[in-house]
Amino acid sequence: MTNEELHNEMVAAMKAKDKTRLSIIRQVMGEVKNLEVNERRDATEEDVNSMVKRLIKQTSETLEMSIKAGNNQERTDTLTEQVKILESLLPAQVTGDALIELIEQTIAELGATSKKDMGRVMGALGKATGGNFDKPMAAKEVGARLA
């Protein structure tokens, strides 16, 4: 997601009066703005996606703690909704047949033949998809194809 798309999402959330979505988007925009100020450069699409992933991780950890505590259901519901909103801001993950096709193509391009090449294949998959792929499934499929 680009900075402009993020801004458009914020405007749409304002128009829809969706306070939870607006709050999350503003949080992401704040993180992106901090990056731009601290590094004195414009944020790239990869920067925005990494900010969203980091916020997903932080919110998920807070959600797990809230579930373990089990004493505030409203907070748990809010955190669950926030994680869903953050995940919707990321590009769709490559899974299923599309991932298998990409794995076969990557193995052929790299000429990978043994398990020693697995790291190279997984790295190439990461670059090809921007890190948006089902890693456990990919590792299983790559492992099965390499002797």
Q: What is the CATH number of the domain that holds 128?
A: 1.10.10.410
> What is the rounded distance in angstroms from the CA atom of residue 81 to the CA atom of residue 6?
18
Per-residue confidence in pLDDT tens, the chain, 147 aa: 788 889 999 999 999 999 999 999 999 999 999 999 999 999 888 888 888 889 999 999 999 998 998 888 999 999 999 999 998 888 888 878 888 899 899 988 988 888 888 899 999 988 888 778 878 888 888 888 887
Domain CATH code at residue 63:
1.10.1510.10
- Are 9 and 72 in the same domain? yes
Domain end marker among 46, 67, 89:
89
Domain end marker among 53, 69, 89:
89
pLDDT at 95: 79
- Are 80 and 105 in the same domain? no
- Are 55 and 112 in the same domain? no
> What is the rounded distance in angstroms from the CA atom of residue 140 to the CA atom of residue 144?
6
- Are 56 and 8 in the same domain? yes
How many domains is the chain partitioned into structurally?
A: 2
- Are 128 and 107 in the same domain? yes
- Are 77 and 114 in the same domain? no
pLDDT at 7: 92
Whole domain around residue 140: which residue ranges? 96-145
